[in-house]
Amino acid sequence: MSALTVTVIIPTYNRPDCVRRCLACLMAQEPRPDQIIVVDASPDTRTRDVVAEFEGVEYIANPDGRGNTPNSRNKALARSRGDIIAFLDDDAFVHPGWSAALLETYEDETVAGVAGRALNHQPGEESRGVNEIGLLKPNGVLTGYFAADPGRIVEVDHGIGCNMSLRRSVIAELGGFRDDFRAGPFGICEETELCIRARKAGYQMVFNPAVCCDHIGAAQPGGRRFSVKYDYYVARNTLVMLLRIYGPLAPIVWRYLGRSLLVHGALEFLRRIAAAFARLGILLAGTATGLAAGLWLALTQGTGPIRHGREAEELREQMGRRG
């Protein structure tokens, strides 16, 4: 049996039924996680009442409300005790064997983070993108394909926030999640950003398909996924992330800008001339605001993988105490 301990952190907003199922799946694990923390940004007490049904599960209220997932995760990190910190979405339901596979992966001391598999139950998802899981490409484009099954553990650059984990020591060194990221209602890149910072700092991250969950994709408080609004935040948040981590002069930033402004926009224009005007405008708006926000944060807060500032230092101190 592994000597490592595991803390599971679940941020949530207005999904008490999902939280109940998520917790039930975790409580059935063998071994059971050593600590489970639910951070609730809901305006009512329904989720708190659900958490009370599960003995030993800790509840934290986040009065900052929805759209503050990084902040919710940091609040839980300050209370965490585990050697391994796992993050689940409230609509992610882990399979039997999830906990054992997670711990086994971390028996390799070179592994700093583990991305898990997230099944959406779509036709062909097990093979789609199987050779491009969780990559940050040289042009700044992020790949997903976390439902794919390569049949083995593979190295990746980032995980999916509904089912990912990192060593406590790595998160503490990085200073936790950047809650000035303003990731928007969909939370795009806010978890990816932490993984990419870990990779930039020299740590290894892997994808283990045995660390598996069902991800039902419950309704988003910010609106429908893959809408024009969603496209805006993809463009904005990716650029903010790249600027903050690599700096404004890094080639990967300019390759991403070139693709976003020229290649992507031009191809979209040629495919659908009428719709392309609106879409390109959204991409330009997202890119422009991302460029402004990223440059401002890079100039005022610095660049690199480590989160700085008073709150980061306080979090490092709190995580060092282990509760």
pLDDT tens by residue, 172-188: 999 999 977 666 666 78
pLDDT tens digits for range 87-146 = 999 999 999 999 999 999 999 999 999 999 999 999 999 999 999 999 999 999 999 999
Are 88 and 165 members of one domain?
Answer: yes
Instruction: Indicate whether 218 pLDDT > 60.
Output: no
* Cβ(72)–Cβ(187) below 8 Å: no
The verdict on residue 79 lying in a domain is yes
With tokens 């490092």, the residue in question is: 316
Q: What is the token pair recorded at 297?
A: 């944060």
Are 16 and 43 members of one domain?
Answer: yes
Are 246 and 196 members of one domain?
Answer: no
The verdict on residue 223 lying in a domain is no
The verdict on residue 280 lying in a domain is yes
Q: Provide the domain count of the chain.
A: 2
Listed in sequence order, the residues at least 6 apart from 108 whose beta carbon sits closer than 8 Å to its beta carbon are none
With tokens 């906990």, the residue in question is: 99
Are 208 and 162 members of one domain?
Answer: yes
Are 131 and 269 members of one domain?
Answer: no
pLDDT tens digits for range 57-94 = 999 999 886 778 888 999 999 999 999 999 999 999 99
The verdict on residue 237 lying in a domain is yes
pLDDT at 228: 77
Are 199 and 247 members of one domain?
Answer: no
Are 187 and 265 members of one domain?
Answer: no
Mean pLDDT of 194-199: 97
What CATH number is given to the structural domain containing 63?
Answer: 3.90.550.10
Quote the CA–CA distance of 169 and 275 in Å, as a whole number.
47
Quote the CA–CA distance of 37 and 107 in Å, as a whole number.
24
pLDDT at 180: 78
pLDDT at 260: 77
Torsion of CA 319, 194, 159, 19, to 10 degrees: 50
The verdict on residue 164 lying in a domain is yes
Mean pLDDT of 221-236: 70
Are 129 and 233 members of one domain?
Answer: no
Are 234 and 199 members of one domain?
Answer: no
Are 79 and 209 members of one domain?
Answer: yes
Torsion of CA 236, 314, 164, 39, to 10 degrees: -90
Are 197 and 126 members of one domain?
Answer: yes
The verdict on residue 95 lying in a domain is yes
The pTM for the full model equals 0.83
The verdict on residue 269 lying in a domain is yes
The verdict on residue 222 lying in a domain is no
Q: Which residues in 234-255 are b (16+ Cβ under 10 Å) and which e?
A: bbbbbbbbbbbbbbeeeebbeb
The DSSP 8-state label assigned to residue 309 in this structure reads S
Domain that holds residue 154: 6-217+307-321
pLDDT tier at 224 (50, 70, 90 boundaries)? low
Are 68 and 213 members of one domain?
Answer: yes
Quote the CA–CA distance of 135 and 69 in Å, as a whole number.
23
